[in-house]
Structure 1
Amino acid sequence: MSTGTTNDVRASLNERSGFHVWWRLLRPHTLTASFVPVFVGTMFAVIHKEGTIAFGLFAAMLIASILIQAATNMFNEYYDYVHGLDTEESVGIGGTIVRDGIHPKTVLYLALSFFAIAVLLGVYICMLTSWWIALIGSASMLVGYLYTGGPLPIAYTPFGELVAGFFMGPVIIGIAYYIQTEVVTWAVFGISIPVAICIGAIMMANNIRDRVGDETNGRRTLAILLGHEGAVTFLAANFIIVYLLTIIYIITGLLPWWSLLTLLSAVHAQKAVRSFSGKKTPVDMMPAMKGTAQTNTFYGVLLGLSLLISLI
Structure 2
Amino acid sequence: MEVKIEHAPSASPKKQPGWRVWWNLLRPHTLTAAFVPVFIGTAYAMQTEGAKNIDLPLFFIMLLACILIQAATNMFNEYFDYKRGLDHEGSVGIGGTIVREGVAPKTVLHIGYSFFVVAMLLGVYICMNSSWWIALIGIISMTAGYLYTGGPVPIAYTPFGELTAGFFMGYVIIAISYFIQTGYVSADIAYLSVPASLLIGAILLANNIRDLDGDKENGRKTLAILVGKRGAVGVLAAMFFLAYVWTIALIWTDIASIWMLVVLVSLPKPISALKGFLQNNTPLTMMPSMVATAKTNTIFGFLFAIGLLLNYFL
Could you state the TM-score of these two structures normalised by the residue count of structure 1? 0.95
Q: CA deviation at 1:7?
A: 4.7
Q: Which residue of 1 aligns with 2:43?
A: 43
- 1:179 corresponds to 2:180: yes
Residues in 2 aligned to 1:20 and 1:137: alpha-carbon distance in whole angstroms: 30
- 1:67 corresponds to 2:68: yes
Q: Which residue of 1 aligns with 2:234?
A: 233
Q: Which residue of 1 aligns with 2:213?
A: 212
Q: Which residue of 2 aligns with 1:283?
A: 284
- 1:164 corresponds to 2:165: yes
Q: Which amino acid aligns with 2:48?
A: H
Q: Which residue of 2 aligns with 1:95?
A: 96
Q: CA deviation at 1:218?
A: 0.5
* Runs of 4 or more above 6 Å deviation: none
Q: Which amino acid aligns with 1:184?
A: V
Question: Cα–Cα, structure 1 residues 309 and 222, in superposed 2: closer, same or farther, change >3 Å?
Answer: same
Q: CA deviation at 1:150?
A: 0.3
Q: Which residue of 2 aligns with 1:115?
A: 116
Q: CA deviation at 1:10?
A: 3.6
Q: Is the 8 A contact 2:9 2:92 kept in 1?
A: no
- 1:87-142 per-position Cα deviation (integer Å, ceiling 9, x unaligned): 11111110011111110000000000100110010000001110000000000000
Q: CA deviation at 1:163?
A: 0.4
Instruction: Write out aligned runs for 1:119-198 (5 A).
Output: 119-198=120-199
Q: Which amino acid aligns with 1:38?
A: V
Q: Which residue of 1 aligns with 2:32?
A: 32
Residues in 2 aligned to 1:154 and 1:142: alpha-carbon distance in whole angstroms: 11
Q: Which amino acid aligns with 1:98?
A: V
Q: Which amino acid aligns with 1:221?
A: T
Question: Cα–Cα, structure 1 residues 177 and 77, in superposed 2: closer, same or farther, change >3 Å?
Answer: same
Residues in 1 aligned to 2:93 and 2:141: alpha-carbon distance in whole angstroms: 23
Q: Which amino acid aligns with 2:23?
A: W
Q: Which amino acid aligns with 1:20?
A: R
Q: Which amino acid aligns with 1:44?
A: Y
- 1:22 corresponds to 2:22: yes
Q: Which residue of 1 aligns with 2:264?
A: 263
Q: Which amino acid aligns with 1:155?
A: A
Q: Which amino acid aligns with 2:108?
A: V
Residues in 1 aligned to 2:50 and 2:282: alpha-carbon distance in whole angstroms: 50
Residues in 2 aligned to 1:220 and 1:175: alpha-carbon distance in whole angstroms: 31
Residues in 2 aligned to 1:105 and 1:165: alpha-carbon distance in whole angstroms: 29
Q: Is the 8 A contact 2:251 2:260 kept in 1?
A: yes
Q: Is the 8 A contact 2:127 2:135 kept in 1?
A: yes
SS of the residue 2:97 aligns to: coil
Residues in 2 aligned to 1:25 and 1:286: alpha-carbon distance in whole angstroms: 19
Residues in 2 aligned to 1:213 and 1:20: alpha-carbon distance in whole angstroms: 27
- 1:259-290 per-position Cα deviation (integer Å, ceiling 9, x unaligned): 00011111111111111112121111110011
Residues in 2 aligned to 1:263 and 1:173: alpha-carbon distance in whole angstroms: 21
The two structures, once aligned, show a CA RMSD in angstroms of: 1.4
Residues in 2 aligned to 1:159 and 1:45: alpha-carbon distance in whole angstroms: 30
Q: Is the 8 A contact 2:69 2:115 kept in 1?
A: yes
SS of the residue 1:310 aligns to: helix
- 1:148-196 per-position Cα deviation (integer Å, ceiling 9, x unaligned): 0000000000000000000011111000000000000000010001100
Q: Is the 8 A contact 1:9 1:89 kept in 2?
A: no
Q: Which amino acid aligns with 1:227?
A: G
Residues in 1 aligned to 2:118 and 2:110: alpha-carbon distance in whole angstroms: 12
Say how many residue pairs are matched.
305
- 1:8 corresponds to 2:11: yes
SS of the residue 1:263 aligns to: helix
SS of the residue 1:285 aligns to: helix
Between 1:132-141 and 1:25-34, the stretch displaced more is: 25-34
Q: CA deviation at 1:43?
A: 0.3
Q: Is the 8 A contact 1:43 1:308 kept in 2?
A: yes
Q: Which amino acid aligns with 2:163?
A: L
> What stretches of structure 1 of length at least 5 have no aligned partner?
none
Q: Which amino acid aligns with 2:11?
A: D
- 1:232-268 per-position Cα deviation (integer Å, ceiling 9, x unaligned): 1110111000011001111111111100001111111
